[in-house]
């Protein structure tokens, strides 16, 4: 389904600034050679998702990690759009990167809800690349830490 078809189906005008902003995020992520191994998707007109296979050494070989890019307006007024990612967020296999500063004054509990960082309204390729790499690094580190807790006695410790 094209972005236009998704926008039409979801009641969001294809030419709205918020959709155009997310179109640019998608284009920049797809064009970035540093994330060539990532799969970039568009599950909703207002979301861009980067998927990465989890390193087999982390003991969750079949899992995939994801970074969800969403406009700040979604965080402020339409978090239900993020519902399909509730389980991966709870499991620690997904994080959210907001594009633009949210209106809500408090982001105090945002990290508990899976928020990794907030980017400018019009991020450039370097902003996006740094955000996606740091988010995946954090997810991979969490996964390794969980694996150590689950399997505390490795062959090296015996």
User: How do residues 130-145 score in pLDDT, each as one tens digit?
Assistant: 999 999 999 999 888 8
pLDDT value of residue 84 = 95
Confidence of residue 33 (pLDDT cuts 50, 70, 90): confident
Residue 45, domain extent: 3-102+110-151
Over 50: is that where the pLDDT of 5 sits? no
Q: Could you tell me if residue 13 is inside a domain?
A: yes
pLDDT higher at 157 or 153: 153
Q: Could you tell me if residue 158 is inside a domain?
A: no
Distance CA 40, CA 26 (A): 7
Q: Could you tell me if residue 47 is inside a domain?
A: yes
pLDDT value of residue 158 = 47
Tell me the CA distances in angstroms from 99 to 83, 89, 91, 102, 152, one per residue in order.
18, 18, 23, 9, 39
pLDDT value of residue 138 = 93
Return the residue matching tokens 């809500």: 104
Q: Could you tell me if residue 136 is inside a domain?
A: yes
Q: Could you tell me if residue 83 is inside a domain?
A: yes
Q: Could you tell me if residue 69 is inside a domain?
A: yes
Over 60: is that where the pLDDT of 60 sits? no
Q: Could you tell me if residue 49 is inside a domain?
A: yes
Confidence of residue 45 (pLDDT cuts 50, 70, 90): very high
Return the residue matching tokens 């599950």: 43
Q: Could you tell me if residue 156 is inside a domain?
A: no
Tell me the CA distances in angstroms from 112 to 101, 108, 156, one per residue in order.
18, 9, 34
Count: domains in the chain:
1
Over 60: is that where the pLDDT of 8 sits? no
pLDDT value of residue 54 = 78
């Amino acid at each position: 389904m094209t972005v236009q078809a998704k926008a039409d189906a979801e009641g969001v005008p294809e030419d709205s600034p918020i959709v155009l902003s997310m179109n640019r995020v998608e284009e920049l992520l797809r064009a970035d050679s540093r994330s060539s191994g990532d799969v970039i998707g568009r599950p909703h007109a207002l979301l861009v998702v980067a998927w990465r296979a989890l390193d087999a050494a982390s003991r969750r070989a079949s899992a995939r990690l994801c970074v969800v890019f969403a406009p700040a307006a979604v965080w402020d007024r339409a978090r239900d759009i993020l519902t399909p990612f509730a389980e991966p967020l709870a499991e620690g296999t997904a994080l959210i990167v907001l594009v633009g500063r949210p209106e809500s004054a408090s982001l105090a509990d945002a990290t508990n809800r899976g928020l990794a960082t907030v980017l400018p309204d019009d991020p450039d390729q370097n902003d996006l690349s740094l955000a996606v790499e740091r988010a995946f690094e954090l997810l991979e580190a969490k996964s390794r830490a969980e694996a150590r807790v689950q399997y505390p006695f490795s062959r090296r410790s015996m």
